Amino acid sequence: MVRFVAGRLLKAAVILICITILNFLLIHAAPGDPAAVMAGEAGDADATFLQQLRERFGLDQPLYVQLWIYVSSVMRLDLGYSYRQQLPVIQLIADRLPATLLLSLTAFVISLGLGILAGAVASARQGRWSDTIISLVALIFYATPLFWLALMAVLLFSVQLGWLPGFGYETVGADYTGFTRAFDILYHLILPALTLGLFFMAVYARMTRASMLEVSRMDFVKTAKAKGLRPAVIQRRHVLRNAILPVVTLAGLQAGQLVGGAVLIETVFAWPGIGRLMFDALSQRDYNLLLGVFIVSAAMVLLFNLITDVLYRIVDPRIRVTS
């Protein structure tokens, strides 16, 4: 296991460097000059001032020189300096990353838990009205655009019913501390986490249902039924345990997508995470900050994939993953 994890970490480092190079070239190929944006915000579009800005931030260097300097800095865990925010990129990301991780992990737990539960119930009651309702609800959530679902959730639960706060990370000006602040943050987390989680829950529900129906037709399940085991025991110990592997694979692949989906959720709910930070950096042509967010997001995806492979042995010890 140690050798496997070490090998995967080495491959992840190589992949991360390749992603960094590709993102750097793609961003610099996009139209727009960050020096012109900064000069416009300063109210001075003079050619001399533009040249000074380019020299200050290294934008006057050839592209391959800028690429080498940036990749070398990333390998030293230096993500550069945000010329728009006037702060180190790693500091800006570190300030916003906990909010994104809280939102993404909560939504992931909600989607995976509810998805497996709904899929297991649907497969156990195949062809009945409960199976039809679960499949229909899952299809509706999956087909609904995420931003529209978020807006409707704000209008219903915040504006109309007044049950939950519709915006923000915590109550502004309340100055809560300790457990009171933690409960306040959780109260603001309910609506965005449920909105993001229900979208991915639909995928896990349908995958669990299909996988459990396939496993239930296998010979070892028929043998368990012939032994007289209770249906609940068969579903839990024999069917679900063997059917969960495809769901774990899919969950590991989609865990990284939660960060991408969080961009829309954070924008709609004014959640102060790296998704909102990435959106602001894109509109402001803040290249270093944008690249930093891309690198952190890619690292999170690679980490989730590694965790998924390790979980394979926990779910089914018969599986031996090789590097």
- Per residue, the 3-state secondary structure of the chain, as one string, reads CHHHHHHHHHHHHHHHHHHHHHHHHHHHHCCCCHHHHHHHHHCCCCHHHHHHHHHHCCCCCCHHHHHHHHHHHHHCCCCCEECCCCEEHHHHHHHHHHHHHHHHHHHHHHHHHHHHHHHHHHHHCCCCHHHHHHHHHHHHHHHCCHHHHHHHHHHHHHHHCCCCCCCCCCCCCCCCCHHHHHHHHHHHHHHHHHHHHHHHHHHHHHHHHHHHHHHCCCHHHHHHHHCCCCHHHHHHHHHHHHHHHHHHHHHHHHHCHHHHHHHHHHHHCCCCCHHHHHHHHHHCCCHHHHHHHHHHHHHHHHHHHHHHHHHHHHHCCCCCCCC
| Residue pLDDT, tens place only, 226-237 | 877 777 777 777
- Which residues in 124-144 are b (16+ Cβ under 10 Å) and which e? beeeeeebeebbeebeebeee
How sure is the predictor about 142, in pLDDT bands with cuts at 50, 70 and 90?
A: confident
How sure is the predictor about 86, in pLDDT bands with cuts at 50, 70 and 90?
A: confident
Q: Is the pLDDT of residue 108 over 70?
A: yes
How sure is the predictor about 322, in pLDDT bands with cuts at 50, 70 and 90?
A: very low
CA dist., res. 106 & res. 272, Å (int): 15
| Residue pLDDT, tens place only, 62-71 | 777 778 878 8
How sure is the predictor about 321, in pLDDT bands with cuts at 50, 70 and 90?
A: very low
Percent of the chain with pLDDT over 90: 0
Q: Is the pLDDT of residue 258 over 50?
A: yes
Handedness of CA 257, 109, 92, 74 (dihedral sign): negative
**For all residues of the chain together, what is the average pLDDT?**
78
Q: Is the pLDDT of residue 103 over 50?
A: yes
Q: Is the pLDDT of residue 260 over 70?
A: no
Please name which of 261, 249, 246 lies closest in space to residue 212, comparing C-alpha atoms.
246
Q: Is the pLDDT of residue 31 over 70?
A: no
Identify any residues that bridge with 81 across adjacent strands, giving them in sequence order. 88
Cα 93 to chain centroid distance, Å, stands at 15
CA dist., res. 251 & res. 305, Å (int): 9
For residue 213, give every residue at least 6 positions away whose Cβ sits within 8 Å of its Cβ, in sequence order, or none: 123, 126
Main-chain dihedrals φ then ψ at residue 84, nearest 5 degrees: -85, -40
What's this model's pTM, rounded to 2 decimal places?
0.75
Q: If you average pLDDT over residues 157-180, what whole number do you get?
A: 80
Pairing outcome for strands 87-88 and 81-82: antiparallel
Query: Which range has the worst mean pLDDT, 40-44, 126-130, 164-168, 177-181?
Result: 40-44
Measured from the Cβ of residue 71, the count of other Cβ atoms closer than 10 Å reads: 13
Q: If you average pLDDT over residues 13-39, what whole number do you get?
A: 75
Q: Is the pLDDT of residue 167 over 50?
A: yes
Q: If you average pLDDT over residues 77-103, what whole number do you get?
A: 83
Percent of the chain with pLDDT over 70: 85
Q: If you average pLDDT over residues 156-168, what whole number do you get?
A: 82
Q: Crossing angle, helix 287-315 and helix 257-268, to 10 degrees?
A: 130
The per-residue pLDDT for 57 is: 62
Q: If you average pLDDT over residues 298-321, what whole number do you get?
A: 70
Domains of the chain (ranges; CATH) run 1-75 (no CATH), 94-313 (1.10.3720.10)
The per-residue pLDDT for 13 is: 85
Q: Is the pLDDT of residue 53 over 70?
A: no
Q: Is the pLDDT of residue 58 over 80?
A: no
Q: Is the pLDDT of residue 113 over 80?
A: yes
Radius of gyration of the chain (CA): 24
Report the Cα–Cα distance between both ends of the chain, in Å, rounded. Answer: 9
CA dist., res. 36 & res. 34, Å (int): 5
